[in-house]
Amino acid sequence: YDETLRLLASVEAFRSSIDDIHHRMGGQLDVAVFDKTASNPQARVGDAIARFSARAPEVRLNIHVGSINAIERGLIDGAFQVGIIPAHRSSKTLAYTDLFGETMLLYCGARHPLFGAAHAGLTWEKLRAHAFAGLGFHSPNMELSHRARLVRKATGFDQEGIAMLVLSGQYLGFLPDHYARGFEQEGLMQAVAPRRFRYACRFVSVLRRSPAPSRAAQLFQECLVAAHKGG
């Protein structure tokens, strides 16, 4: 299956190169985005798509959602032409451009002993008495949980997986504040000492350095930057 995807990506890359030679912009563009980005008020990916569609109406746009490592692997393999992911360790084969931010808070579910309890005396050390659910790939989430020496007892491979584990009431977990807000409003989750147990991460757009990105990929990147810089 992976070989088939790589073959299809190679065929599309060839078509894109022919379009570039003839100075036309057609074919398709595959953009991969980290999950739960659409609800982030700081993300203006929809605005970027509108700009791109106006300037390249003949390009068929495909949007994929995936984990950081899956998106980076797809960019290197050629399955994706543009990625949007949280910034973490960088690869020399990829080029990164800063776009927008996201706030991550620590949550517990309604059946957790910390739900509705006083959090004033909680410290990172005391959190280690509670089971933690973290993302199962290299990410700001994994980096923080290692630094804080939180006790990982469960692993999720996307934000929805972490949310399910938190909702069980058995685990603490970090989630984007914009994504968790709906669960909080329904009384299913609570942020734990949100001024203390939080971290911020930046999202970046990612292109492969070599071979050079297609004209469509470069244009989409320009639209992303313009949308997030107010240009």
CA atoms within 13 Å, Cβ hemisphere of 117: 13
Question: Does residue 13 have a pLDDT over 70?
Answer: no
Question: Does residue 175 have a pLDDT over 90?
Answer: yes
Q: Which residue has the higher pLDDT, 11 or 117?
A: 117
Does the pTM surpass 0.85? The reply is yes
Question: Domain spans of the chain?
Answer: 2-101+202-229, 102-201
Q: What are phi and psi of 92, to 5 degrees?
A: -70, -20
**pLDDT-derived band of residue 25, with 50, 70 and 90 as boundaries?**
confident
For residue 50, what pLDDT is reported? Answer: 98
Instruction: Give the bridge partners for 203, in sequence order.
Output: 86, 100
Residues 225 and 231 sit within 8 Å (Cβ to Cβ): yes
Average pLDDT over residues 156-166: 97
Burial readout 183-207 (b: 16 or more C-beta within 10 A, e: otherwise): beeeebbbbbbeeebbbebebbbbb
CB atoms within 10 A of CB 47: 15
Question: Which CATH code is given to the segment(s) 102-201?
Answer: 3.40.190.290
The per-residue pLDDT of the chain, averaged, comes to 92
Distance CA 160, CA 137 (A): 14
**How would DSSP label each residue in the chain?**
-HHHHHHHHHHHHHHHHHHHHTT---SEEEEEEETT-TT-TT--HHHHHHHHHHH-TTSEEEEEEE-HHHHHHHHHHTS-SEEEEE--S--TTEEEEEEEEEEEEEEEETTSTTTTS--TT--HHHHTTSEEEEESSSSHHHHHHHHTT-EEEEEESSHHHHHHHHHTTS-BEEEEHHHHHHHHHTTSEEESSTTTSEEEEEEEEEEESSSPPPHHHHHHHHHHHHHHHT-
Question: Does residue 214 have a pLDDT over 90?
Answer: yes
Question: Does residue 23 have a pLDDT over 90?
Answer: no
**pLDDT-derived band of residue 17, with 50, 70 and 90 as boundaries?**
low
Q: Look up residue 207 and give its amino acid.
A: L
Of 19-23, 43-47, 78-82, give the lowest mean pLDDT range. Answer: 19-23
Q: Which CATH architecture has domain 2-101+202-229?
A: 3-Layer(aba) Sandwich (3.40)
**pLDDT-derived band of residue 26, with 50, 70 and 90 as boundaries?**
confident
Question: Does residue 3 have a pLDDT over 70?
Answer: no
Residues 121 and 138 sit within 8 Å (Cβ to Cβ): no
Could you tell me the two tokens for 140?
């700001």
Question: Does residue 16 have a pLDDT over 60?
Answer: no
